[in-house]
Chain A
Amino acid sequence: MTKELIFAGFGGQGVILAGKILCIAAMKEDKCVSHIPSYGAEMRGGTANCSVVVADEEIASPVVEHPDICIVLNKPSLDKFEPRMKEGGILIYNTSLIENKPKRTDIKVYGIDCNRIAAENGSERAGNMVALGALVKIVPWLCSVDSFEFALDQAISARNKKFNEVNLKVIKAGYDLPLNAQ
């Protein structure tokens, strides 16, 4: 099996980091992974995204044209990636910042109030972590929620490791949400 994902949002929302954490967690469980960030002209407040592939066989192409799964944390990202998704795909979107509902009816859509749930659990900036927790609840094949502890430890630089505890708590809050496709 191969799953192709896009994480997208404003620069600063941590979408590229979220993709990397998923990769490390899945890699720990012996999956093949790849991660390509958008790069260059991005800046805080602009849009950023990353392409992630998780597979249980050698990854042919790390390039994601038509994602199976999209995690979008702001409206411009929803507008950009919803039309590109594969039929039957899974879309997780951040209702804290996106008022309009996704239009497609041939995909499964999960609206999550990421920023609010993150704030309630100790870090208003950790909306990306809420989405990560919810993602592996919806698609358990990707990796176990328990592997994120290792992934955070690997991915986060020494000076920011103090946030790992709260990030893990927020991931678990996302994982424990009641999730129903709309």
Chain B
Amino acid sequence: MSEKILMKGNEAIGEAAILAGCRHYFAYPITPQNEIPAYMAKRLPEVGGTFLQAESELAAVSMVMGASAGGARVMTSSSSPGISLKQEGISYMSGAQLPAVIVNMMRGGPGLGNIAGAQGDYFQATRGGGNGDYHVLVIAPGNVQELADYTIKAFDLADKYRIVCMILGDGYLGQMSEPLILPKAVENLPAKDWALTGAKGREPHIIASLRLNPDNYLEKHVYDLYENYKKIEENEVIYDTQNLDDADYMIVAYGTASRICKKAIRMLRAEGIKVGLFRPVTLWPFPKKEIAEAAKKVKKILTVEMSMGQMVQDVQINAGKFCDVDFLGRPGGMLPEVEKIVQRVKSYV
């Protein structure tokens, strides 16, 4: 018998976090990610961890900041409007170089919007999201197995670079159940020689978000942050391709939208149309060089998103000089239709 279990995406994130050594989780409920807090409420006490439902999103993210400063592996999760409320803490943690994993299972926006899966938070996620010059490392899984695998990776990357790492999913991915092989538990957590662990017998560590004096203190700090970002851009890009080797046309999509595109690609291939998929997995760092190389070999690119077009700007910037970039998307928690994608690609032939 296989070791596969059928698991819901949101629960897979919760179990993966525990396997990654996360023992602290603070959150405030919101659909469509409520299975994460529900799962953590049940599981964390079983493994000696702390689950706390905060009184607000700001309180939850501030608790994350505190636990992270103390050296813990810590996570919070929410959906679009809740993530907006957490931006203050995300910006503070980015300034203070505090690692944490933040899950955004996106829903329709703007505002409270609706509760269906959507991809309208790409700009917010990949451009920092809160105030100031910073980035968070954004990973966009495409199925339940990846939700689990990349949640573990997110914890590792967050600690490695002392950065906030975001899992950017959507309501459909969170609600979806698929077979899952549970990843291995992380055994040795990295040492954190910067953490606030009590300064008895050593010099105190300082974790700060405010940097007033001297005048160029903050400037120098931001340069340091960007040196770190440069390393991430050089070393941590993740992407996936399918059917690109002989492709005349390339579809670019991530997350749930990429799943719909895979179906369209099968239908188009069955009719002899050579089309392939480029799927960015890290949205920041965006696979800039890789998409540019792929663009040189195709006649046209179609970017498909569950939004009015956000990632398409990154596609345009990096691939637009090599070929034409078209866009197809639907906002408001609606899914792009397979047949529309098929028709659009056929119109290029």
Contacts and interface: CB of A to CB of B under 8 A. Distances in A.
Partners in one complex: yes
Interface of A: 20, 23-24, 27-28, 30, 32-37, 39-41, 59-63, 65, 154-155
B263 interface: yes
6 shortest interchain CB distances as A-B pairs: A60-B262, A60-B263, A61-B263, A35-B177, A40-B115, A61-B259
A63 to B, nearest CB: 6
B6 A20 contact: yes
B177 A23 contact: yes
Contacts of A24: 6
Contacts of B172: 36, 62-63
Contacts of B2: 27-28, 30
A39 B115 contact: yes
Contact of A27 (B4, B31, B259, B263): B4
Contact of A36 (B176, B262, B263): B176
B5 interface: yes
Contact of B176 (A28, A40, A60, A62): A62
Given A20-B6, A60-B263, A36 B335 contact: no
Contacts of B5: 154
Given A40-B32, A60-B266, A34 B176 contact: yes
Interface of B: 1-2, 4-6, 31-32, 115-116, 171-172, 175-179, 256, 259-260, 262-263, 265-266, 335, 337-339
A62 to B, nearest CB: 6
Given A60-B259, A154-B5, A20 B338 contact: no
Contacts, number: 66
Per DSSP, chain A at the interface is: mixed
B339 to A, nearest CB: 8
Contacts of A59: 178, 259
A152 to B, nearest CB: 13
A20 B4 CA distance: 14
B115 A27 contact: no
A33 B179 contact: yes
Given A39-B175, A154-B6, 14 more contacts: A23-B177, A27-B2, A27-B179, A28-B2, A33-B6, A39-B115, A41-B115, A59-B178, A60-B263, A62-B176, A62-B178, A63-B259, A63-B335, A154-B5
B322 to A, nearest CB: 27
Contacts of B338: 61, 65
Nearest to B5: A154
Contacts of A37: 175
A40 B337 contact: no
A34 B31 CA distance: 20
A23 B263 CA distance: 20
A60 B265 CA distance: 9
A144 to B, nearest CB: 14
Given A27-B4, A28-B1, A40-B115, A33 B259 contact: no
A98 to B, nearest CB: 27
Contacts of A39: 31-32, 115, 171, 175
B124 to A, nearest CB: 22
Nearest to B34: A39
A63 B330 CA distance: 15
A62 B258 CA distance: 11
Nearest to A34: B178
B115 A62 contact: no
14 contacts: A36-B172, A39-B115, A39-B175, A40-B31, A40-B115, A41-B115, A59-B178, A60-B259, A60-B262, A60-B263, A60-B266, A61-B263, A62-B176, A63-B259
A50 to B, nearest CB: 9
Given A36-B176, A40-B115, A61 B262 contact: yes
